[in-house]
């Protein structure tokens, strides 16, 4: 009896793993088929996450409109997508230069986007300008630049495309945000403020446009790491804050985020949080035990020396 139980357990594990693999593959294929022929706008398409979204939606048969600040990088992305895709089942990507920090130019860019296919089915708002520094080291001018790139730029484009969606009574707005849109951490004041503002805007917008058949989704990872970024080696120095921040900042690969964005578009999820258990626990503690959360954060910051400004 004992020998049989030892054999059955691994078999059950293998069967469960196989069923899960089949489920994920079927879900992935269904998600791709759901975006076929749809007009999908991807902002900051030349970033790591933007490139992965471009690949996923392009191979899924969507008519992608790729936006980015650099025409040269957009052309390089175009070449990469075109060389890897089957032209019989994909559409030629459209390229549009878009700099969210240039607010005055966005209305013209909006018209250019609409001229590509006459409408937009899905807008994936992806924008991220970061700065890591003590608040007294960040100029007001830099605060404004971050707000323009992360908040005013995306909402200006969203407002420009909304009339077309409401007229058709159809559309999806997907915000790729950050957990810092719900949880602020030290030395990221301007970045967290911009992400909080964007999160609030899309949360309010969701209720306003539902009657027009427009869905609004937010996807919030802890941190989108670069392709080649590896976890830092453990520091022997004991610090609650260092442990907490390392767990909070441990990010997800751009490919994982792109796959989740595709699933979100397919299922029209309202809100997705891509976070490990430590980050999720931090959110709950911040909500239900704010005093404890602030005490832990403040205790950790006392051990951290002032850092130089680090802008990305």
- Could you confirm whether 78 is annotated as catalytic? no
Distance of CA 69 to the CA centre of its chain: 18
Burial (0-12, 13-18, 19+ Cβ within 10 Å), 255: middle
Look up tokens 């990507």; give the residue: 93
DSSP letter string, 193-242: HHHHHHHHHHHHHHHHHGGGTEEEEEEEES-B--TT--PPPPPSS--HHH
Q: Which residue, 272, 252, 217, 265, is CA-closest to 61?
A: 265
Counting every residue, how long is the chain?
312
Residue 24: CA atoms inside 13 Å, Cβ hemisphere, count?
A: 8
Q: What's the rounded Cα separation, in Å, for the pair 110 and 101? A: 15
Query: Which of 21, 78, 117, 191 is labelled catalytic?
Result: 191
Residues with catalytic function: 191
């Amino acid at each position: 009896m004992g020998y049989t139980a030892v054999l059955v357990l691994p078999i059950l594990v293998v069967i469960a793993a196989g069923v899960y693999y089949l489920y994920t593959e079927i879900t992935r294929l269904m998600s791709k088929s759901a975006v076929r022929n749809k007009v999908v706008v991807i902002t900051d398409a030349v970033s790591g996450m933007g490139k992965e979204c471009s690949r996923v939606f392009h191979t899924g048969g969507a008519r992608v409109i790729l936006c980015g600040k650099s025409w040269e990088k957009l052309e390089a992305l175009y070449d990469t997508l075109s060389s890897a895709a089957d032209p019989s089942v994909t559409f030629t990507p459209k390229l549009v230069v878009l700099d969210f920090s240039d607010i005055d130019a966005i209305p013209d860019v909006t018209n250019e986007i609409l001229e590509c296919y006459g409408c937009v089915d899905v807008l994936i708002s992806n924008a991220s300008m970061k700065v890591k520094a003590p608040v007294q080291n960040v100029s007001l001018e830099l605060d404004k630049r971050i707000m323009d790139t992360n908040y005013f730029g995306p909402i200006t484009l969203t407002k420009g495309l909304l009339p077309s969606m409401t007229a058709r009574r159809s559309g999806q707005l997907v915000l790729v945000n950050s957990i810092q849109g719900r949880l602020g951490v030290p030395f990221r004041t301007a970045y967290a403020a911009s992400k909080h503002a964007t999160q609030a805007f899309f949360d309010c917008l969701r209720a306003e446009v539902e009657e027009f058949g427009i869905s609004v989704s937010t996807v919030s990872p802890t941190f989108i790491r670069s392709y080649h970024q590896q976890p830092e080696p453990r520091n022997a120095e004991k610090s609650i804050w260092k442990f907490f921040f390392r767990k909070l900042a441990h990010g997800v690969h751009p490919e994982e985020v792109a796959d989740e964005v595709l699933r979100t578009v397919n299922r029209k999820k309202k809100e997705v949080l891509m976070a490990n258990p430590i980050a999720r626990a931090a959110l709950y503690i911040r909500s239900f035990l704010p005093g404890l959360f602030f005490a832990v954060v403040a205790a950790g910051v006392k051990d951290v020396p002032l850092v130089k400004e680090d802008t990305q």
